[in-house]
Amino acid sequence: MKLKKSDLLPIVVLGGVNFLTLILYLVSPFNYVYGNFSLSFIYVFINIFFLFFGYILALFLFQSNSYKRSYLYDFGDETKIFKILLFIFSSTFLIRYAYLLHYQFYDISGMLEEVTIGVLDPKAGYLSTVNNTRPFTIPWSIYAFITVFHSLFFITGAIVWKRINLFYKSAFFFFVILEIIFWYSRGTNFGIISLIILFFLAYLLRVKKINFRFVLNISMVLFFVLFIFSLIMSVRMDGVVDLSSYEIYLTTVNYDSFVLNLFPDYLKPSVLSIFSYLTQGYYFLSFGFDQSFNFTYFFGSNASLINIANLIGVDVERSTYVFRLSEYGIDPTVQWHSAYLWLASDLTFYFVPFYIFGLGFGLSFSWIMATRSDDYLCKVLFIILGGYVLFLFANTNFIASYFYIFVFVIVLILLKLFLVSLNK
C-alpha cells in the first residue's frame, strides 16, 4: 500500500485548523485578564503535536498490503443503503424535531410555529434552545435509537451524492434545507456549520490530487462558514456596534491590537466575534488547570455521555471541569471550553494528549481503509472523527451530536475485524 500526497490532506486541513486557532489565540485582540495563557498555549500545542504524531504513525503502519478489501465485510451498494435510510428518515424525522423542540411529535402546528418564531427572531429561538426548564416529551431511548439512522442518513447522503439520481438528490436536498432552517431557527451556528463540515469531509474522501480546483473549493467552504457565522451572530447581537459588547467573558478588548486595526470599523464586530469563538475555548481551558480532578467514571467528556449517566442514576455533571468553572461565572452551556477540558474530566490533563494521539491514529486508519478498501463503515467513521478533530478548539459537541452513530459504527467495525480474524 503506497502512500500518496493526498494521504496527508486530512491532517493538514483538520490539524491545520486547530493550529490556526492556536495562532489566533496568540495574536487575539482580547486582553486575557485572568487564567494562565502560557500554560494553556503550551498544553494545546502538545495535544496538536500528538494528533499529528498519531495520524502519521498510522499511515506508516497501514502501508502493508495485508489490508485488502477482501478482508472487510462488504455492505453492498451504498446507494441502496441511502435509499433505506431515506425511507427511515422521512418516516421518523418529526420525532427527532419534536424531541429537540420539546413538543409532541404529532403537534406539527406547534413545531411549525416554534420554528417560524425562531426564523423571524433567531435570538428568541436561541433563548428557547437553552431553556432547560421545559420537559422532554419523547423518551430518550427512542430519540437515541432514531438518531443513529438520522445521522447515518446525512453522512451517507453526502458520500453518495454524485451517484444518486435526480429524484433522490431532490429528496435529500429537501431534508438538508429543512435541517438548515431548523438550526437557523435555534439561533445557533453549530447545526448548520456541522452540516457544511460533513459535506466537506465527504468531498475530501473523493479528492485524488491537490490542484487549483481543490484550493478553490477549500476557500469557498471557508468563506461560506464565515458568512453563515457572521450572519447568525449579527442577527443574535441585533446590530450592536459597541465593541465592548463582543468581549469574551473575563477579558477586555485590546483596542490597540494590530490585528483588530487591520480591518475597517464596520468589520471589527465580526472580527471580534470570530476571534471570540475560535479562541475562548483555550482561554477558559486555562481556568481548569487550577481545579482539582474529580473522577467522572468516563461519563463526563461530552453531553451525550452525561445524559446516559443521568439515566442510570449517576450524577457526574457537577464533577466535570466544565461545570465547576461556573464558580468563576463561566457558563457551561454558553461559553466554549475546548475539547481538552471536557476530556480531562474523564482522563485528567495528563492523559488527554494520549487520547488525542489515538484520535489522530483512528482518523488515519479510517482514511486509509475508506480510500484504499472503499469500506463504507470507515468512510462514516472518517467523517465523524474528522468533525471531532475539527472542533477540538471549541468543545465536544460534534461527537456528542453523533455519539450514538459513532458507537454503533465502532461496534460494527470491531465485529467485522473479529469475524474476519476467525475466517483467516
Number of structural domains (the chain) is 1
Q: Does residue 250 lie within any of the structural domains?
A: no
State the maximum Cα–Cα separation within the chain, in Å, rounded to a whole number.
67
**Count of residues making up the chain:** 424
Owning domain of residue 88: 78-236
pLDDT band at 70 (very low <50, low <70, confident <90, very high): very low
DSSP 295-329: --TT--SSHHHHHHHHHTT---GGGSHHHHGGGGT
Q: What is the mean pLDDT of residues 124-146?
A: 82
Residue 338: CA count within 13 A, CB half-sphere: 30
Q: Does residue 357 lie within any of the structural domains?
A: no
pLDDT band at 389 (very low <50, low <70, confident <90, very high): very high
How confident is the model at residue 213, as a pLDDT? Answer: 73
Q: What is the mean pLDDT of residues 401-421?
A: 87
Q: Does residue 164 lie within any of the structural domains?
A: yes
Distance CA 120, CA 127 (A): 14
> What is the gyration radius of the CA atoms in the chain, in angstroms?
22
How confident is the model at residue 240, as a pLDDT? Answer: 61
Q: Does residue 377 lie within any of the structural domains?
A: no
Distance CA 241, CA 22 (A): 27
Q: Does residue 417 lie within any of the structural domains?
A: no
Q: Does residue 172 lie within any of the structural domains?
A: yes
Distance CA 306, CA 169 (A): 36
In the numeric block, the cell 447568525 is attached to 232
Q: Are 200 and 223 spatial neighbours (Cβ–Cβ below 8 Å)?
A: no
How confident is the model at residue 71, as a pLDDT? Answer: 46
Q: Does residue 232 lie within any of the structural domains?
A: yes
Pick the closest to residue 363 from 62, 44, 156, 158 (CA basis): 62
Least confident of 182-191, 297-306, 386-395: 182-191
C-alpha cell at 190: 453549530
Q: Does residue 202 lie within any of the structural domains?
A: yes
Helices (H) and strands (E) in the chain, counts: 17, 2
